[in-house]
Amino acid sequence: MNNTIKLSIAVSLLLTITTHAAELEPITVTTTNKTEHSINDTTSNVTVITAEELDKNGYQNVAQAINSIAGISVANSGGLGQQTSFFVRGADSGKVLVLLDGMRLNDPSTTNGTALLESLTTDNIQQIEIIKGGMSSIWGTNASAGVINIITKTPQEGTHGSLSLLYGSYKTKGIDADIGYKDDKFSAQLLASYLDTEGISALAPRDAEKDAYTNKNINLKLGYRFDENNKIQLSYNRIKTETEYDDSWSTAQAEDDYSHAQSDQENTALQYDYKSGDYRTNMYASQGKYERTFYTNSYGVGVNVYEAKLKEFGMINSYDYSRGKAVLGLEYKDIDGFNQYNDYPASQADYTNKAVYLSNLYRITTGTLIETNIRYDNFEQFENKVTYKAGIKHEYNKISGLGVGANYYTSYDAPSSYQLANVVFGSELKPAFTKGYELSAHYKELLTITYFNNKVKDSIDYDMVNYGYYNIDGVSKFKGLEVESIYPFETMNLNISANYTHLFEAKKEDGSDLFRRPKDTVNLSANYYTDSSSYGITAQYVGDRTDLGDMSTGNYTLWNLNYARELTDEIKLTLNAKNIFDKEYQSVYGYATEGRSVYTKIRYRF
């Protein structure tokens, strides 16, 4: 079956689904205005990946989990744990804010301030909320293309826990254990996980010298409720990785057995919540420490050290009134970055950011919702910014489930500390500024169609002649269409879901295409359930991508199988077979990808 036929089948399944979708269970999200509310109380399109879906599909890290979402594409520079790029509606990952329990995971010491999703394992995640489109009017920098908010599991009443063992292809093995406790006053949750793989070669071919990967993670949540109105919570997360890789400066390095890297990321947050009637306030302080060391042989044996520290303080006040909710927030951030290669002089940059923002959700009628945000950011280092969002959503009363929505927004992306420390001599960097809008229409979960259009001014790029970062004159453009559908055959215990994304335009300021963004992507999933088991099949079609040097990675389709069975009330077995037709493909030109592989996990709960 060629790729065109496979694509046609997937699109046909998507478009022929008709009128029998069921309503989803109510879901609470926090991403749209930093306060908890129903997923329906926002004009933005919010996608939620649940813990059940993460487990069912055998996703080992967050990058794998978001790869099947409409509008998102992921490109891997090798196997598990290798450098991963992701794009949201064509924008690079530095324009996407990633949060873990409210703590910012975007690493200021990376080139574009991206979060390293390849290091984020899924064992302790309760849900992943994804909002696409400009969200700087609430979250500030690194949110011009969207927000990915990861929420870890919270303890349930009493004492409980679980132990999981994983084994699979490429000598992959893992273990994770968690224990939780909760009573009327006190709650605690502790998780520790370990993942190790012999891996595949980072550079193609995949059977060249193997590049191993190890991930160690610890996550802690402590909470205390003084009374019905006052509570305090401490969150801590630490991820340490060791990664072997092939030096990317030469495609002849597939047998490179020296290049390796270590990373250590530590996030801590303390929150205090108070509520009185319809008024709530949340005060928080958090800190992120990021350290990465690369041992490279690109110019002879060398060591590249990247470090960054981010401190954040804030207050969120919200008030629920009869027709909506108003939010007032204050925020302060202090960001420091450091980079040094061998004994050469270090590059260092730091800046502070103060912000105030207002958000209001107002229900004009039972079917019509208006959402407005405005935010002012004051920067010590560069130009201050005002960003805003105005959105509307309307549900038709005469046709239950039919609705339309629109959002217009402005956003910005401040330079990363790495870019600030490596600017073209004599230049001053300023934030890139985005204007965009999205239009959507939906009928229940059966069919959702969204058109988006974003323009980015003053994008930041690297000058290969003057060796530094600078703002590019002109406007880069991103236009596209997303089509999504979920169709449950309730009498047959069968669920089918599908989505299709087409990028009309993802162009640089000079009109040339941006690299590594596929024009077309299709995801298809079918799951059959019995009382004790589930059977699933997923497929993904990825269209042509243009990579550096105008090299094409070609198109490909991957098929996966999933199986889960409750052996007893306490023990669950899952099997995940990936790339079952052993497709040879590349998502980044010159880099290897995983072949046919099988992973099994057994979990015991108490």
Encode pLDDT of 32-48 as tens digits: 888 988 888 999 989 99
Report whether 65 contacts 54 (CB < 8 A): yes
Percent with pLDDT over 90 in the chain: 79
pLDDT beyond 50 at 7: no
pLDDT beyond 70 at 3: no
Sign of CA dihedral 485, 540, 80, 306: negative
pLDDT digits (tens, 9 = 90+) for 173-232: 999 999 999 999 999 999 999 999 999 999 999 999 999 999 999 999 999 999 999 999
- pTM score, whole prediction: 0.92
pLDDT value, residue 517: 95
Q: Taking Cα atoms as reference points, which of 314, 307, 220, 224 lies closest to residue 267?
A: 220
SS (H, E, C) 458-510: CCEEEECCCCEEEECCCEEEEEEEEEEEEEEEHHHCEEEEEEEEEEEEEECCC
Query: What is the DSSP code string of 161-193?
Result: EEEEEEEETTTEEEEEEEEEEE-SSEEEEEEEE
Report whether 600 contacts 574 (CB < 8 A): yes
pLDDT band at 81 (very low <50, low <70, confident <90, very high): very high
